[in-house]
Chains A and B, each alone.
Chain A
Amino acid sequence: MFGNTLSDYKIISVLGKQNGKFCTVYMGKCGSPNYSIAIKKLCLEKTEDKELQNISDEIILTRQFRHPNINSILHSFVCNSDVYIITPFMWFRSCEDLLENLFPTGFSEPLIALILRDVLAALIYIHKNGIIHGSIKAGHILLDKKKAVLTCFRESRCFINHGKNSFVIRGISSGHKDIINWTAPEVLDQNLNGFTEKCDLYSIGIACCEIANGIKPYSEAQPTFMFTEKTRGNVPSLLDQSTCFHLMEEEGTIQFGTLTRKHEIYSQRIFSDEMHQFAEICLNRNPLNRWSAEKSITHSFFKQCRYTSISDQLQYTVLNLQDPFKIEDGALENTEESKNRFEDEPWDF
């Protein structure tokens, strides 16, 4: 079904670039049923050996997974000096993109629940297989019309060490600047206690705050400060009526246009107690007190998923994005529109 040369695929548009110039993502089509795909192109010549190893490890690992909530790799091949990775096309791309373009103050609670439920389902699957994802964040959660999928297993860790299965993983953190803000404190500690699959649950907690607030966690803090904060058990919070007033009092005089507007939205909305509780459990400093992925998915926070779906929640966006091929051009206009819309209409949960 998938060919080994670039000519087998029809490239339609550029979706974005990662890691500077060396990684480009295209939207494309292939095959007779006109299957929409995303094509990731990585330039081999400009990547380091270590990175290359990571890429091939990631591809091998991801191709072993069979789960609806894990972004499958349909095919990968080397053409000229580039690696091409073919994955299914995800209609709404990553949560990070959505937040940036359409939801500057974060998603609504039902949507968050839907996304996290799917991510947890994927986590249950990979944890059962003895794998830790290691870098869960909004940027690594892709959204389709029907489901959310987990992607990017580059930082994944395995419980098998020197040919033996162990209960904890020890080691130096891989130290990717892009992900340390989501990393659990016990991973950053890098001591002989090691860490377990519970570190993914912590990352979910951070990602939950990220997609709820529309703010990247610790984006303005020094990494060392982020580290000490996490060690002390201080974590970001979900910004709503109950927490936002404290924040405004603390910060005092923030009178910039956009910031105040954002704060107004934050201080008017209410997240359910279940959601606050869920985030709190995930963000527990002690991994033993965190729930496992299996238990987390039974949390009452996910009850609200029953009568809704991602496409319901995103129907505005869906209407605006009838034609997926215009994402690139339409993105900016939509941002303006959506901002206005949020101001006019009160949030309905």
Chain B
Amino acid sequence: MTVNSTHAMEAEAQFKIAQRAGGGGGGGQHLGSNKSLEVAGKEIADAADDETTVLLANKNFHFDTASELDEAFVELNGISAEEAMAASAEEPDNHTDQQHNPVTWLNDYEIDTLDLATLDIGNMFNRVDSQDIIYQQKKKNLKMVGKYVMGDVLGEGSYGKVKEAMDSENLCRLAVKILTKRKLRRIPNGEQNVTREIHLLKQLKHQNVVSLIDVLYNNEKQKMYLVMEYCVGGLQEMLDYAPNKKMPLFQAHGYFKQLVDGLEYLHGCRVIHKDIKPGNLLLTLDQTLKISDFGVAEQLDLFAPDDTCTTGQGSPAFQPPEIANGHETFSGYKVDIWSTGVTLYNLVTGLYPFEGDNIFRLLENIGRSQWVAPDWLFELDANFANLVLGMLQADPNKRLSLQQIRKDHWFISAPEVTGPPIPIPPLKGDEIRRSTVLPYLEAYHYGNEQEQEDVYFTEHDVNQQLAQRAAAAAAEIRAQQAAAAASALEPSTSAAAAALANGNREETASKKKGSSLKRRAKKLTSCISVRKLSHCRTS
């Protein structure tokens, strides 16, 4: 990857605006809204907050939004709300006045607030010129939460961000899941799920289950911090990065064995995970697999006669037929077996046993009939095909149990090592995944030694950069495709197109995280595609 971290971050922020605004405007259909924007002077206000990334040079943006929001803005600006309102009311669309317009500083959470406000209004949508969104290079200000030094963002989920951190006393690398109450309230059962997750994680202690180290609360900021052990990447991430989105058989075997170990422990603790999928399986530095995300997990009552469950809220593509068909009750442990089977199949082949154009079709397909293992799977490895088939039995009673899996031929075999395993993808260009906390510590301990000028750049710049990269990547892909087409006998056109799209995505993803914009935008519009369902969650 060539783009530095700040760019990636900015691109995310940038996307956020586009997305949120689109949502507020009813799917981005109101782009033609006549409230055009004036270009504001890029006056630099002093930003004390280290999280400040986005400048909206447009005070008109939320001209008539909820008042609390405006107040928040104006506090940042140092002018009163009335003044701002009056000013914008007086001269809307006045380009001559641009030099005097103040710049509005937005923090990440304020962007979210924007969203809320926009949602309230419903129809309002503002067009923001890309030149007017100004980004500032992040300052590396040391931020401590308790005794933990915070680093860069590792990922972002629906609940909030996951940041890297370091224990300032023993220098262990950690991951911190930051949950904001506001975001939790937006998710159905959000707070309930989190409380359950914390409760569960506190009891669980196993090599293959992600361990919770600490929980911190900040009542002022309405935030909750879950300090967990550091994982260097997830299986989904590795698959996305790998060619054909699959891994060699022997590598999958290694992870599968650990997954079964972890699952056996969980089931022994009466815990049903219900959301086993590559995205929830993480890896530590030494390639130990960790089962994570217990948001929808359920712990059976100590006196429950059997493992009967009534609710399932996992990812659709990994749901067993009994949930797809909407059975009232079903066996909990067998749900995990099914998803483990889908996961294993997905790791090795890059495919899903059931697909569908949309979630309903998908669930219909899952529920309709017994899965039949394709012939080529038997050719690949007959033992493997049999194991997957055994785990993907539509009838829960026929489905293998963990004990049976342990005795399976493929499970106890040691598949031949064929070539190198697929690697953990680099994070923002860093192949060895250095600690992102270190730059913060350096800045803190050595202070102003290499202090740089504040760097500002506009969204326009970012977009142009993105476009250039995408063009370069596309050209590369085209060249590759041409070469491939020349050598191989022509594949079916649709497959070629898919490969092109895939390759393209990978290329851009590997080149820059900035393309997350593109990726997520895609997700927004095409929640229908099965591929992406693994990231979604039914409510």
Chain A residues proximal to chain B, CB less than 8 Å: 49, 161-162, 169-173, 175-177, 180, 188-194, 222-225, 227-228, 231
Contacts and interface: CB of A to CB of B under 8 A. Distances in A.
B171 A192 contact: no
B164 to A, nearest CB: 11
7 contacts: A162-B288, A172-B173, A177-B169, A188-B171, A190-B173, A194-B285, A228-B438
B493 interface: no
B168 A171 contact: no
A177 B442 CA distance: 21
B170 interface: yes
Contacts of A223: 168-171
B243 to A, nearest CB: 20
A185 to B, nearest CB: 11
A335 B277 CA distance: 64
A170 B444 CA distance: 27
A170 B285 contact: yes
Interface stretch (B192-200, B332-340, B427-435, B474-482): B427-435
Interface in B438-463: 438, 441-442, 444-446
B46 to A, nearest CB: 27
B172 interface: yes
A193 B424 CA distance: 12
Contacts of B168: 222-224
B350 interface: no
From B172, B286, B432, residue with most partner A Cβ within 10 Å: B286
Nearest to A177: B170
Given A224-B149, A228-B446, A171 B284 contact: yes
Nearest to B232: A192
From B149, B229, B254, B285, residue with most partner A Cβ within 10 Å: B285
B442 A173 contact: no
Q: Is the interface of B mostly helix, strand, loop or mixed?
A: loop
Contacts of A222: 168
Contacts of A192: 232, 285, 424, 431-433
B371 to A, nearest CB: 31
Contact of B286 (A170, A228, A231): A170
A162 B172 contact: no
B71 interface: no
A189 B285 contact: no
A172 B172 contact: yes
Contacts of A49: 205
A233 to B, nearest CB: 13
B287 interface: yes
What class of interface size applies to chain B in its complex with A?
A: 20 to 34
Contacts of B438: 227-228, 231
Interface string B164-185: 0011111111000000000000
A49 B170 CA distance: 19
Interface string B276-299: 000000001111100000000000
B245 to A, nearest CB: 22
A193 B426 CA distance: 12
B230 interface: yes
Contacts of B424: 192
A231 B254 CA distance: 34
B435 A190 contact: yes
B180 to A, nearest CB: 27
A83 B149 CA distance: 38
B346 to A, nearest CB: 22
Nearest to A170: B285
A149 B396 CA distance: 60
A202 to B, nearest CB: 15
Contacts of B434: 189, 191
Contacts of A227: 171, 438, 441
Given A172-B229, A228-B446, A231-B438, A191 B285 contact: yes
A189 B149 contact: no
Contacts of A189: 434-435
B257 to A, nearest CB: 9
Given A162-B254, A172-B229, A192-B432, A224 B171 contact: yes
A175 B284 contact: no
A165 B49 CA distance: 48
Given A49-B205, A180-B171, A192-B431, 13 more contacts: A161-B286, A169-B286, A171-B285, A172-B229, A175-B172, A188-B171, A191-B285, A192-B432, A223-B169, A224-B149, A227-B438, A228-B438, A228-B445
Contact of A228 (B173, B229, B441): B441
A172 B254 contact: no
A192 B173 CA distance: 12
B172 A173 contact: yes
B170 A180 contact: yes
A162 to B, nearest CB: 6
A161 B287 contact: yes
4 closest Cβ pairs, A-B complex:
A175-B170, A170-B285, A175-B172, A192-B432
A228 B432 CA distance: 18
A170 B423 CA distance: 14
Contacts of A225: 441, 445
Contacts of B442: 228, 231
A207 B431 CA distance: 32
Nearest to A171: B286
A202 B445 CA distance: 23
A175 to B, nearest CB: 3
A177 B167 CA distance: 11
B170 A224 contact: no
Given A191-B435, A228-B442, A173 B171 contact: yes
Nearest to B437: A224
A312 to B, nearest CB: 40
A131 to B, nearest CB: 16
